[in-house]
Amino acid sequence: MRKLSTSIEQIIIKIVAARAVWQASKVMPASKLTLWHLVLEPAKYNSIAEGFASLPLPSQLKIRRKKLAVPSGLEEFAGNLTYGQKLFLMNEEPFDVGCIMRYVTGYYYPLYSGQPWDEAEALQFGRNVLSSPLKDLYPVAIHLVNLMAELVEREKKLLHREPTADEKAAGVDRLTRFTELTSLIFLMDSFRCTEAAVLQKPYDDCLVRFMLAKEQNAYTERLTEVHRRKQDKK
């Protein structure tokens, strides 16, 4: 019986080994590829996955058992963001997998969970995205990246103010690296709330506060110039 048992064990080992070799050489059909496949075997699936970038944008993205709407344009996209999500999405990712994970989790976590924005929970939520089909994830992620670029460009047009000669001479450019921090401090003061509360504020509401502050500053500058001219005439 021991000989028979040993022979069976050897056969099982050979079957398992053969299956492992078959799985390693097997290429998953493109329609069934998920983000998991790209994470586990990038060398095998990278070239296939990149072809998904040119596929049409689906109207919905399936994450686990939920089907979630893909934003049709900038207004819908911005309307679903909190200020914390906007900051999260602005962080750059050097690789496709990281970019897909950041944009899909960053945009969809509150819509999927029904919970307030939470960066740590959103990152944990990313595990659910791994089982979503790449044929949908790629075009959706690219769409979200493009919408974010539109949002940033619109924000620049609405809020940009050319520095004065005096400001340039004083080195105003050195403050650029502190833009995120100064924006948070401004919003905390404007809403009279904590940093955590600011991150939960709708992005559109925060944009309005920035626009109002810009107009108020411009008015103050114009008023100061009017007073200066009056003084010069005297």
The most confident of the ranges 29-43, 61-75, 170-184 is 61-75
Do residues 73 and 185 touch, judged by C-beta distance below 8 A? no
The letter for the amino acid at 5 is: S
| Residue from 60, 84, 88, 81 nearest 72 by CA | 60
Domain-by-domain residue ranges, the chain?
Answer: 30-158, 171-233
Token pair for residue 137?
């994830």
Q: Which residue has the tokens 């893909």?
A: 70
Question: What is the pLDDT at residue 227?
Answer: 74
Q: For the chain, where are the E strands, in sequence order?
A: 60-63, 66-69
Question: What is the pLDDT at residue 166?
Answer: 54
Beta bridge partners, 133, equal 34
Min mean pLDDT across 8-17, 150-159, 212-221 is at: 8-17
Question: What is the pLDDT at residue 22?
Answer: 42
Question: What is the pLDDT at residue 3?
Answer: 47
Min mean pLDDT across 2-6, 29-33, 159-163 is at: 2-6
To the question of pTM greater than 0.85 for the whole model, the response is no
- Return the number of other C-beta atoms located less than 10 Å from residue 37's C-beta: 18
Average model confidence (pLDDT) across the chain? 83
Beta bridge partners, 82, equal 202
pLDDT tens, residue by residue, 150-209:
999 999 999 876 555 555 544 445 545 557 888 999 999 999 999 999 999 999 999 999
pLDDT tens, residue by residue, 86-98:
999 999 888 888 9
For residue 19, pLDDT over 60 is answered with no
- DSSP assigned state of 170: T
Categorize the per-residue pLDDT at 224 as very low, low, confident or very high, splitting at 50, 70 and 90.
Answer: confident
